């Protein structure tokens, strides 16, 4: 059978809110019974001029506290936490920000016999982005960072762009810079 080519991507545009981000609940990614450490994560999105991007959209995907993905491709012998949906989606506000409540994910297999440090997969959409951007949020201070196979692929001087840092209130803060000084590392997947 001759192969088909994928449908090309186009921008999400500025007018998606009334359809894609109506449910504020998509910022609250776990039920009350979810196992693990509760965390709050604040994302901010900036353009190449350092201005906040007020019309972006952030999607998150993560494993539960035990490092299990709620997906059949995850064949680890443990049950996913039914109170951890793993998916979140919010629009950025006038400050380029959005806040998710979730649990800290556990470490996950890398598919090659090794282990990945705890991380959340982050997809960025916006007016002016003709394709979505993929990045990862890791946790500053995690001892497993040193052995993470994906971080090792990133030039050492840029790894810091993938680390969330806690503010005095304990909220993990992750700034995404689309362009310019301290540009966030994005991945081709």
Partner 1 sequence: MKIYPLPLEGDHPPLLHAPYAATVQRAPSMPPVPLPHTLSELTGPLYGHNPIGETDNDLTRQHAGDPLGERIIVAGRVLDEDGRPIPHTLVEVWQANASGRYFHSVDQHPAPLDPNFTGSGRTMTDENGNYRFVTIKPGAYPWRNHPNAWRPAHIHFSLFGPCLITRLVTQMYFPGDPLMPYDPISQSIRDDRARERLVSQFDRDLTVPEWALGYRWDIVLRGCEATPFEEPK
Show contacts with partner 1 in window 151-170 (CB under 8 A). 153-154
User: Does 142 engage in binding with partner 1 (CB under 8 A)?
Assistant: no
Give, as ranges, the residues between 76 and 115 that touch partner 1 (CB under 8 A): 85-87, 89, 108-112
Give the C-alpha separation, 127 to 10, whole Å. 10
Q: Residue 34: count other Cβ atoms within 10 Å of its Cβ.
A: 18
40 binds partner 1 (CB under 8 A): no
C-alpha 111, offset from chain centre: 20
Name the minimum Å distance from CB 95 to partner 1.
16
If one asks whether residue 137 binds partner 1 (CB under 8 A), the answer comes out as no
Residues touching partner 1, count (CB under 8 A): 75
Q: Interface residues for partner 1 in 113-132 (CB under 8 A)?
A: 116, 119, 121, 123, 125-132
Report the residue number, 170 or 181, with the smaller CB distance to partner 1.
Answer: 181
Q: Which is nearer to partner 1, 95 or 153 (CB)?
A: 153
Q: Near partner 1 by CB under 8 A, which window of 34-42, 55-63, 94-102, 166-174?
A: 55-63
């Amino acid at each position: 059978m001759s192969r088909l080519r994928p449908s090309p991507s186009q921008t999400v545009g500025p007018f998606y809110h009334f359809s894609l981000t109506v449910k504020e609940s998509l910022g609250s990614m776990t039920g009350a019974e979810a196992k693990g450490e509760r965390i709050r994560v604040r994302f901010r999105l900036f353009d190449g001029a350092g201005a906040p991007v007020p019309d972006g959209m952030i999607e998150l995907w993560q494993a539960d506290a035990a490092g299990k993905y709620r997906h059949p491709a995850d064949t680890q012998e443990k049950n996913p936490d039914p109170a951890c949906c793993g998916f979140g989606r919010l629009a950025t506000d006038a400050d380029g920000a959005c806040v998710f409540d979730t649990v800290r994910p556990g470490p996950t297999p890398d598919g090659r016999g090794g282990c990945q440090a705890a991380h959340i997969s982050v997809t960025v959409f916006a007016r002016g982005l003709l394709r979505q951007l993929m990045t990862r949020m890791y946790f500053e201070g995690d001892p497993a960072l040193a052995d993470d196979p994906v971080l090792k692929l990133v030039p050492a001087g840029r790894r810091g762009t993938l680390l969330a840092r806690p503010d005095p209130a304990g909220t993990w803060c992750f700034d995404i810079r689309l362009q310019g000084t301290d540009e966030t590392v994005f991945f081709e997947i």
